[in-house]
A = this chain, B = another copy of it.
Amino acid sequence: MANTNTVERIIKGMASKGWRITEQRKMMAALFAETEGYLSPKDVYEHMRQKYPGISFDTIYRNLRQLSEAGVFEQFYFNDGLKFRASCLTHHHHHLICMNCEKTVTFDYCPMPNLSELPGNYEVMHHRFEVYGYCPECAAKRRKETKQPT
């Protein structure tokens, strides 16, 4: 499912910041473009290492950080740590995430318009709304496991 548009979007995002388009960055863009879910720094490292056996952690972390700061990638923290995914810039939406396999679907409902008055007079910058549950496959698996315990 290599999504050429996404690759190009990521690379354009990098170029628009005046960044150099290196082979490593191209490969990273392609990896995230073809990945539905989330990738940890280690996942990225393991993948990149196939083509660039001596790739440095520095390269991985620097690019993940810079691309996140630039809004091209999004950072999430799961229970097992930091992960990244290509951010969908098409339109604002939120995520419904499987707690087992991390498979994610998006939905358009955003609670912010309904938030008329917040306490504390904060200068609101952004928000985070995520719903967690089990996808049909993992929910079925879970039911089986609890019915037949070892």
Chain A residues in contact with chain B, CB under 8 A? 75, 77, 79, 82, 96, 98-99, 105-107, 109, 111-112, 114-115, 118-136, 139
Contact = CB atoms under 8 A, between A and B. Distances in A.
Nearest to A131: B127
B128 A105 contact: no
For A82, A99, A122, the residue with the greatest tally of chain B CB atoms inside 10 Å of its CB is A122
A115 B131 contact: yes
Contact of A107 (B106, B118, B131, B132): B118
A136 B107 contact: no
Q: Which 4 A-B pairs have the closest CB atoms?
A: A111-B111, A77-B77, A122-B133, A124-B133
Contacts of A139: 122-123
